[in-house]
Amino acid sequence: MEVKVYSTPSCPYCKMVKDYLSSKGIDYQSLDVSQDKTALQDMVKVSGQMGVPVTVINGEAVVGFDKSRIDYLLST
Amino acid sequence: MSKIYDLIILGAGPAGITGAVYAARKKLDFLVITLDIGGQTVWSGDIENYTGYQFVTGPELASKFREHMEAFKIEVRMPERVTDIKKEGDIIRTITNNAEYLSKTAIVATGKRPRPLGAEGEQEFKNKGVTYCATCDGPLFKDKPVAIIGGGNSGLDAALQMVKISPKVYLIESGAQLSADSLMIDNIKKASNVEICTNSKVNKIYGDTFVKGIEIEKQGKVHNLNVEGIFIEIGLIPNSKFAFILERDEKDEIVVDCYNKTNIEGIFAAGDVTNVPEKQIVIACGEGSKATLSAFRYLSTHKF
């Protein structure tokens, strides 16, 4: 399973998403869109919007800390 | 039959977390229902007036709050949004987007959220250039022109952050002058890439997939500003809409007495969602502890 989290260092919801994934023992790739322009473009492309965090699980994007949707995508 | 908790705390900002710590130490059987942990503290910049910390950042203080709460085994439902709270005989029913819970007492500590502007296009372009969290989303607008709506402290906070990374920052204020602290105003005026527009009203936000610009009106004249990011920083509104049964004032703040009692017996409220004078982290913490102590007293004296 491929999990990516697009975030900025100052965003509290990003931290919550990462903490949540870690608590479930999920390995994820963390992308800092404040530094990485390509990652920012990818995030906009995959989610169609410009808010962080964006979590991508097997190609499906979740905007914000939406625990139930993250759980659902992790279980499929 | 559903379980009946001693106490349900709604919200986990400074008031809710402090209330939870007090409830844990009183060994109450309780539940915390919240959207997030830390509330507005996590959005706060630098804090220099929280006793014991001469300097601490909002996210740091919020994680200290979180650690303190997590030192106890507390049942937390997150993220859950409360949609209604009812009193049925002696029992309180809390309804969320996910479930219903019963308790003998409740503390509403749901805090405040950013006030929307109400301009055309604001909803359509939310997260597509329009943002309410400069701390979170500011870095996404590096090298892009932006507009900040609101000349108070939070607007100036956002402006001071953005002048460092954006080629052009418009600071838009509907009043005749900026209302932020004069130190912040002096600092923003030193930036060469800021344009301050006072007496200016936002007519609409426009674009295609993402924001392309904003139309403002200054003294009857319409101006179009080409911006890709719009930060709305025009104050806060209380998260009290679900509290139909509770008395609220003209600002929609829940009315409490000095024991944090609301108009409904057994339901208490604390922190920024209430009409407590002054909205400060240290005050919200104090209010949260008072509310739990009042709930505890009610639990030990009331016959259920």
Domain limits, chain A: 3-75
Question: CB distance A50–B140 less than 8 Å?
Answer: yes
Q: Does A41 touch chain B (CB under 8 A)?
A: no
Q: Residues B254, B167: one domain?
A: no
CA distances from B224 to A33, B144, B172, B213, B221 (A): 29, 16, 13, 7, 10
What's chain A's length in residues?
76
Determine the Cα–Cα distance for residues B12 and B8; give it in Å rounded to an integer: 11
Using a cut of 0.90, tell me whether the model's pTM lies above it.
no
Q: Per-residue pLDDT averaged across B118-147, rounded?
A: 92
Q: Are residues B213 and B157 in the same domain?
A: yes
- First CA to last CA distance, chain A: 10
Residues B180 and B281 in one domain: no
The answer to the question of residue B245 being in a domain is yes
- CATH class, A3-75 region: alpha beta
Taking CA atoms, A31 is separated from A5, A14, A17, in Å, by: 6, 11, 13
pLDDT reading at B63 higher than 90: no
In this structure, the answer to whether residues B109 and B32 fall within a common structural domain is yes
Domain edge (last residue) among B171, B202, B232: B232
Average pLDDT over chain A reads 91
> With 70 as the cut, is the pLDDT of residue B163 above it?
yes
Q: What is the pLDDT of chain B when averaged over all its residues?
A: 94
Q: How far is CA B294 from CA B165, B166, B219, B245, in A?
A: 48, 49, 52, 20
Per-residue pLDDT for B44 more than 80? no
pLDDT tens digits for A3-56? 999 999 878 788 889 999 999 999 999 999 999 999 999 999 999 999 999 999
B129/A50 CB distance under 8 A: yes
Q: Tell me if B119 is assigned to some domain.
A: no
Q: Are residues B151 and B197 in the same domain?
A: yes
Does A8 contact B139 at a Cβ distance shorter than 8 Å? Answer: yes
Q: Rounded to an integer, what distance in angstroms lies between the CA atom of residue B302 and that of residue B6?
A: 12
d(CA B104, CA B169): 52
Residues from B contacting A (CB-CB < 8 Å) are 36-38, 42-43, 59, 62, 78-79, 127-129, 131, 133, 135-140, 142, 209-210
pLDDT digits (tens, 9 = 90+) for B279-300: 999 999 999 999 999 999 999 9
B171 three-class SS: strand
The mean per-residue pLDDT over the stretch A59-73 comes to: 90
Domain identity same for B290 and B224 = no
| Domain carrying residue B14 | 4-113+236-301
Q: Give me the CATH number covering residue B285.
A: 3.50.50.60
Residues 6+ apart with CB under 8 A from A49: A63, B127, B128
Please answer yes or no on whether B139 and A16 come within 8 Å at the CB atom: no
**What pLDDT, on the 0 to 100 scale, is given for residue B1?**
58
B218 and B161 in a common domain? yes
Q: Among B197, B232, B267, give the residue marking a domain's end.
A: B232
Which chain A residues are within 8 Å of B133, Cβ to Cβ?
11
Same domain, B40 and B88: yes
Domain total in chain B: 2
